[in-house]
Amino acid sequence: MTDRGPRADVCVIGAGPAGALVAHRAAKAGYSVVVLDAGPRFDFEGRSEREERAIRPGSSKPPWNMGEEGGHGKRDAYTSSGPKEYPLNTARVKGVGGSTLHWQGMVMRLHERDFRLHSETGMGVDWPLSYADLRPYYARAERAFGVAGASDNPFAPPRTTPFPLPAFPPSHSDAMFAEACESLEITTHSVPNARNSESYRGRSECLGYGTCKPVCPSGAKYDATATIDGAEKAGAVVIDRAPVQHLEHDDAGDRVVAAVYATPDGKTHRQEASEFVLAAGGVEIPRLLLLSKSPQYPDGLANSSGLVGRYFTDHFFAGVGGVVDERTRQHHVGFNTTESHQFYDQPADGSRTAIKLEFWNYAGPTPADIALSGSSLGDDLLDNIREEYGNHLAVGALVEQVPQYENRVTLDDSKTDDHGNPVPEIVWSLDDRTRRTIERANRIQHRIMDELDANVRWVIGPEKTGPAFHHMGTTRMGTDPKSSVVGPDMRTHDLDNLTVAGSSVFPTTGAMNPTLTIAALSLSAADELLDRLA
């Protein structure tokens, strides 16, 4: 084992949005920063090829090289052993940029009530932070991402700053939904998006490829490589293909002294630093802490509470889709431009959780999907495409799950990765309260589709539901070291110089896409870290 380079002021583990923002902030402040990421760099010039791979019918190679078919099966191996199957590799990326390389790009602030959920509904716990504490960091995160939005959401929390970019206009199908929702007294509004409605900070405006998830070829959709580029220009050193194997702490067990990581040549290296930041996501962060057990921490590093890996939480999905007797221009826009938060705030009796309705611009098959779905050719194929393309609609929803102690990320000692380490094991389940919320979401969705005289083709309800792939809660934040892993400054209770940046610190989840809150918390954590370094 060797020391790869000089001791750094800050070592960041993970080059997704959380790690990128912390690294950029620290490097701009003049501190030496080393970023370690388990995956490779992906050349920007290769995105068109990845887009083609993603949309090519019958393609079996994932565009961002995750899992067995991407040639990294052992590296990305995991176990799902809970009551609800969890397909982990479906929506994560190991590499510089992280999962923002293929995310949808919707960025909402949590509601004020989300921060005091227990006080107001009796469910879950309260956050040790308030919305007011995070509001300035939300604004900074929106500027960092280049968020396009409008102040037309009557249910949104209060703002003191405008969005950096104007909102995207409503789509053709949005107008259809708006008319139906107005008849049902359901309020609709625009969606804040981390994609450029006009050019921003050297990045192109949206060119309408419609393949936002999983590949944006133009770079109009924000991904963390833009922030990593800024960090490197400010002096940060980024080392890719450097999976951290474990963390070492000092004799007293008070401070982390080094991150031990592997390189493709088969060697291991130690990176020493004054401050360490874990920013590798809600699955790999608890896994690394559990892999870093020692005599002082026999149950895993920073785990005196026994809660590392506990309360693994995701948003469940609910949806209804079908066809109507008019053109909807499906797939004309590759992301959501209209939503409704009308059903978001939870009832005070705690009987069910929050719902965020999404009106899709990309429901139904593409012409290529239709062409490959049957044996018709020539004029018959054209007739089939005319019949099946351009008349689909769908209403989706994210549903809040109250964190459950038994849902967790742990280690599967019977299965190892490409370095011989136990793989993550995920235990996930659907509780009765969340089941009732999914059923409620379906009822609302059916009302909207009925108002549109739609022929319903599919329903995703409690029996078919799956995750939104928002990994939250596995190193929860709180003020009591016995019931949380990190404090309000995102620093672990057990080690003075170990910060966790990301959604794993969420005590509860709301029903909003988490990335803007991840960014706001990461910027707040970076300020706390810089105060300690000063």
Among 341, 470, 471, 493, the one annotated catalytic: 470
Q: Per residue in 3-30, pLDDT tens?
A: 666 899 999 999 999 999 999 999 999 9
* pLDDT greater than 90 at residue 58: no
Using DSSP's 3-state secondary structure scheme, residue 492 falls into: strand
Categorize the per-residue pLDDT at 113 as very low, low, confident or very high, splitting at 50, 70 and 90. very high
* Average pLDDT along the chain: 93
CB count within 10 Å of CB 439 equals 14
- Indicate if the pLDDT at residue 68 is higher than 70: no
Which of 60, 39, 64 minimizes the C-alpha distance to 51? 64
Predicted pLDDT at 375: 57
Mean pLDDT of 241-251: 98
Over residues 198-234, the pLDDT tens digits come to: 999 999 999 988 888 899 999 999 999 999 999 999 9
User: Which residue from 269, 228, 278 is spatially nearest to 6, judged by alpha carbons?
Assistant: 269
Confidence of residue 66 (pLDDT cuts 50, 70, 90): confident
Query: What pLDDT is recorded for position 53?
Result: 80
Calpha distance 440→260 (Å, rounded): 48
Quote the pLDDT of residue 405. 98
Q: Which CATH architecture has domain 1-72+93-147+220-305+472-534?
A: 3-Layer(bba) Sandwich (3.50)
User: For 393-430, how does the pLDDT look when each residue is reduced to its tens digit (9 = 90+)?
Assistant: 999 999 999 999 999 999 999 999 999 999 999 999 99
Pairing of strands 244-249, 237-239: unpaired
Choosing among 3.40.50, 3.30.410, 3.30.420, 1.10.287, the CATH entry for 153-191+316-399+431-464 is 3.30.410
Tens digit of pLDDT for each residue in 148-169?
A: 999 999 999 999 999 999 999 9
For 210-227, give the DSSP string.
S-TTT--SSS-B--THHH
Average pLDDT over residues 259-263: 97
pTM: 0.96
Residues of the chain with pLDDT > 70, as a percent, come to 95
Per-domain boundaries in the chain:
1-72+93-147+220-305+472-534, 153-191+316-399+431-464
Query: Would you state the pLDDT for residue 379?
Result: 66
Residue 181 has pLDDT above 60, yes or no: yes
pLDDT at 485 over 90: yes
Percent of the chain past pLDDT 90, that is, above it, reads: 83
72 catalytic? Reply is no
Question: Mean pLDDT across the stretch 479-493?
Answer: 98
DSSP 126-189: --SS-HHHHHHHHHHHHHHHT-EE-S--TTSPP-SS--SEEPPPP-HHHHHHHHHHHHTT---E
Look up tokens 């887009």; give the residue.
Answer: 51
Is the pLDDT at 71 greater than 60? The verdict is no
What number is the average pLDDT over the span 435-440? Answer: 96
Q: Would you say 17 and 227 are in contact if contact means Cβ atoms under 8 Å apart?
A: yes
